[in-house]
Amino acid sequence: MAYKTILCHLVADERNLARWEAAFGLARGDGAHVIGLYTIPPLIILGDAMMQVTPAIYEQYDAEAQAQADAAGTRFMEAARQNGVSAEWRIARGFPSEAIRVHGLYADLVVMGQAGDDFISTPGLDSTDSLAADAAIFAGRPVIYLPKSGSFPALGKRVLLAWNGSREAVRALTDSLPLLKRAEAVHLLTAKLPSSIPAQDISTVLARHGVKVEMQNVETTEDASTGALLLREAAARRCDVLVMGVYGHSRMNEWAFGGVSRHVLRHATLPVMFSH
């Protein structure tokens, strides 16, 4: 198994360079094709301001958004050429959540991240956390979620793998195998394991794939403390990516992450690879 098609989600902010650098770094390892998906959300104006919006305002918004997208596409394709990576550029207009769900279906891996400080959020649209949930839950794809600062052109050298014996953890482990096989060091952290699941078995499974792990079991009780523990352990081991399964639950017509997942994604200072 290898990542042969990587979807890189891009928006109108300062973090696009970090996103496509991470995607290109992963692509070089497997000779993958990278799709740059730039989403242009609709112009949504709420409240009394709606009465003051003219067609000219919408036309100006569309023109400026298209110009930003075209400029980003030029930089993306030039960066792909310099990195020797096969790539293509796509622009999707409409709700980003729908674009990610549709385009994510045909990728092996999705790279996205927290919004940069210069990102202008649109009222009524999903946060980046929710978009990440869409990719993992509705498209069923593993996601590498980058923090809002830092550069990660060669991630995956030192990996912290979180394991609790859940279905989501199984998915994350399986989806991350191409990354684990290339890693210089893999640290396996087990927590909240049912007594019927021997922790040692998972290291044996990984060894059959050629992945040698250093294993440690920890005891946690609260979701927030578990999330904080994962981030502390990743930092202590100088890991450059954390792999974990994420739990989601329905909230009306959208999905939200569970406590551990939400804490990690909001406070991480390293890339997090997750599956649902």
* 139-190: pLDDT as tens digits: 889 999 999 999 999 999 999 999 988 899 999 999 999 999 999 999 999 8
Unique residue bearing structure tokens 């202590």: 236
pLDDT tens column, 43-101: 877 655 555 678 888 899 999 999 999 999 999 999 999 999 999 999 999 989 899 99
Q: Which two tokens stand for residue 186?
A: 């893999």
Angle between helices 223-236 and 259-267 in degrees, nearest 10: 40
Domains assigned to the chain? 5-146 (3.40.50.620), 158-275 (3.40.50.620)
Q: What is the pLDDT of residue 71?
A: 97
DSSP for residue 240: S
Q: What is the pLDDT of residue 252?
A: 44
Distance in angstroms (rounded) separating the CA atoms of residues 108 and 175: 9
Neighbours of 111 (CB within 10 A): 33
For the chain, percent of residues with pLDDT exceeding 70:
84
pLDDT tens column, 228-255: 889 999 999 999 999 999 876 555 444 4
Task: Calculate the average pLDDT of the chain.
Answer: 87
Rounded average pLDDT over 113-137: 69
**239 or 196, which is more confident?**
239
Angle between helices 16-30 and 55-83 in degrees, nearest 10: 40
Q: What is the pLDDT of residue 247?
A: 76
pLDDT(126) > 80: no
Quote the pTM value.
0.90
